[in-house]
Amino acid sequence: GWMATGADREHPEDRGVAEVQAIYVSPAHTRQGIGRELFDHVMPLFQSAGHTRVVVWVLESNAPAIDFYHQRGFAKEPIETKTIERGNARLVEIKLEQLITTPPSTVPCSP
């Protein structure tokens, strides 16, 4: 499998937002945890790069992908919706968001 990430394509000036631009696992290898491993690998990288949010666009009709992102902590409600045209087809995409929480500092406080 593979995963493409980068700045939020809709708002590239917002440096605090990372986007999962694509994630792919061969159909012969789905439901084996590969997508989860890819996702779990990049989340700490987003955090260490200073991102505070992660977004993803997904087809509104792609229930398995939406479920995958909900299981990874993305909000249940989309933050944006857009309609795109591909030939004679009109496709609705939704943008899901997850906040990245920063673990508490391990630096001891001064008395």
Domains belonging to the chain, first-starting first, are 2-99 (3.40.630.30)
Mean predicted confidence (pLDDT) in 45-62: 95
Is residue 90 over pLDDT 90? yes
* pLDDT > 90? residue 106: no
Reported confidence tier of residue 85, pLDDT bands at 50, 70, 90: very high
Average pLDDT over residues 46-66: 95
- What's this model's pTM, rounded to 2 decimal places? 0.82
> According to the model, what pLDDT value does residue 19 have?
96
Backbone angles phi and psi of 9, in degrees to 5: -65, -25
Q: Whole-angstrom Cα distance, residue 95 to residue 53?
A: 12
Residues of the chain with pLDDT > 90, as a percent, come to 79
Q: What is the pLDDT of residue 107?
A: 46
Q: Which helix (H) or strand (E) holds 18?
A: strand 17-24
The answer, yes or no, to whether residue 105 has pLDDT greater than 90, is no
pLDDT for residue 109 is more than 90: no
* Angstrom distance (rounded) from CA 20 to CA 50: 15
Residue 102 confidence class, pLDDT cut points 50, 70, 90: low
Closest CA to 18 of 56, 44, 72, 57: 56
Helices and strands: H and E segment counts in the chain: 2, 5
Q: Beta strand 17-24 with 89-99: parallel, antiparallel or unpaired?
A: unpaired
pLDDT at 12: 85
